[in-house]
């Protein structure tokens, strides 16, 4: 995919910015692919939004964050891009309500990497990483950042690592969201 996409869109970098898809279940392999696609001209690296088997706050990812930071590419995490099968048997059945649940709660899972990147100190240790959460809406962001800030203030004695800035400041410096139709987000712009 990565070779095909850069071959097709690379000559039109003034109009297109394809994302290189990077599986991260093999971290050394992922790092090698990040270095390779960076040489090909990619400006966006996409990894799964949620890694449940080895969450992004695991120390094993530290070389990956360094590689992403060194590449200068934007890290993109897409809603519902996860390391497990989110489709239960019968998801399309009327009585299951599965599709609606999957689509909405799949978007909500995008709070996971935002929280981890801030709380585990990834953004503090790698201040040049820029990341975006794609197609997850944005109305939830105000609540999440407020709640993270609130708990850093009220429960600072338990927060590890100690953060140099408030969680909302890390997001303002390094985080981004994409969304389509989200009046709640637009209503809460500050």
Segment 98-114, tens digit of pLDDT: 677 778 888 899 999 99
Q: Environment class of residue 117 by beta-carbon count within 10 Å: exposed (0-12), middle (13-18) or buried (19+)?
A: buried
Average pLDDT of the chain, as a whole number: 92
The pTM of the whole model exceeds 0.75 = yes
Rg (CA), the chain: 18
- Average pLDDT (15-28) is 96
The string of pLDDT tens digits covering residues 48-72 is 999 999 999 999 999 999 999 999 9
For 2, the token pair is: 């990565």
CA-to-CA dists, residue 160 to 62, 73, 151, 152, angstroms = 17, 28, 12, 10
Q: What is the pLDDT of residue 107?
A: 87
CA distance 67 to 87: 32
The string of pLDDT tens digits covering residues 67-86 is 999 999 999 998 878 877 77
CA distance 156 to 62: 24
């Amino acid at each position: 995919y990565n070779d095909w996409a850069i071959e097709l869109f690379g000559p039109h970098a003034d109009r297109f910015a394809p994302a290189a898809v990077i599986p991260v279940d093999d971290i050394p392999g992922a790092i090698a692919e990040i270095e390779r696609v960076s040489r090909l001209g990619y400006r966006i690296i996409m990894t799964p939004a949620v890694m449940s088997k080895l969450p992004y706050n695991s120390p094993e990812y530290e070389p990956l964050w360094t590689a992403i930071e060194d590449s200068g590419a934007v890290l993109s995490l897409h809603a519902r891009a996860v390391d497990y099968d989110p489709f239960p048997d019968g998801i399309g059945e009327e009585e299951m309500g599965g599709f609606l649940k999957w689509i909405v709660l799949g978007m909500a899972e995008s709070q996971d990497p935002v929280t981890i990147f801030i709380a585990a100190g990834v953004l503090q240790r790698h201040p040049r990483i820029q990341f975006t959460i794609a197609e997850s809406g944005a109305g939830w962001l105000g609540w999440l950042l407020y709640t993270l800030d609130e708990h850093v203030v009220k429960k600072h004695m338990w927060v590890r690592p100690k953060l140099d800035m408030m969680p909302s400041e890390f997001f303002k410096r390094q985080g981004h969201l994409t969304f389509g139709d989200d009046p709640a987000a637009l209503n809460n712009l500050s």
